[in-house]
Amino acid sequence: MKKFLFLFLFLISQLAFANKTDNRYFELRVYYCNPGKLDALITRFRDHAVPLFKKYGIDGLAYWVPTNNPDHAFYYLMAYPNKEARDASWREFGKDPQWLEAARKSEENGKIIAKATIHFLKATDYTPKIKPSKASAMRTFEMRIYTAMPEKLQDLENRFRNHTMKIFKNNGMQNVAYFTTIEKNPADQAKLLYFLAYENEEAGKLAWQNFRKDPDWIKASTASEVNGKLVEKVESVYMKPMDFSKFR
């Protein structure tokens, strides 16, 4: 009886410490501004969009611009309870008189946004807790998008879950958040999209050099690819957070 009680209490304690899957609905938007308009967009976000997001239940988590930004891009990450809440929030936001006036005034001298891309996302079961940064110092973030080889996404995720994230940490790379994309066509394979953070961009690039030489990574990657490579394409962008970003 005592052994049974001990085992029961142990299992309960393990469950209490287990990571709970974040079931929120996430959205990453990238706005590409017309030349000379990025500062106007940032000002519009800081003074108008961000306060109104809160009013309409849009949880703006992070706002970034790339460190190398020839396309005048602006990235931001949002969270909602679910897709239905997301759609309702944007409908109400789009009708808000304060927003409509702010948008009109900001574009008196020309349209700000040339084009936009949107990724809808769901958190992985192995992501760190997705929450605002505690530190006040600004870090440099890196967003990476992996297109896996056909039928290889699960193998890629297993490698991250069991090996890659730990090796990142051992090399001074901060795991921030991990997602898979929600594709328009359910038959299409999702992509892995994740964020790392570093003291600065130089530290990030040095960490990657060390990571690729790490014996644990070489061993894990070699073992995972005995039946073929896992990744078809990698996209990477280094970014700096805005002063109004929750991720810093």
Average pLDDT, stretch 116-122? Answer: 98
CATH number of 23-123: 3.30.70.100
Average pLDDT over the chain reads: 93
CA dist 159 → 47, 113, 126, 156, 162 (Å): 42, 38, 11, 5, 5
Q: What is the pLDDT of residue 136?
A: 75
Q: What are phi and psi of 37, to 5 degrees?
A: -110, 0
Residue 183 in this model has a pLDDT that exceeds 70: yes
Question: What is the domain class of 126-248 according to CATH?
Answer: alpha beta
CA dist 179 → 21, 133, 222, 230 (Å): 11, 18, 24, 17
Domain ranges for the chain = 23-123, 126-248
Average pLDDT, stretch 174-202? Answer: 97
Q: What is the pLDDT of residue 11?
A: 47
Q: What is the pLDDT of residue 3?
A: 52
Q: What is the pLDDT of residue 236?
A: 98
Q: What letters, b where the CB count within 10 A reaches 16 and e where it falls short, cover 208-236? A: beebeeeeebeebbeebeeeeebbeeeee
Higher pLDDT, 43 or 16: 43
Average pLDDT, stretch 167-183? Answer: 98
Where does the pLDDT of residue 1 fall: very low under 50, low under 70, confident under 90, or very high at 90 and above?
A: low
Residue 77 in this model has a pLDDT that exceeds 60: yes
Average pLDDT, stretch 25-31? Answer: 98
How far apart CA 128 and CA 62 sit, in angstroms, is 16
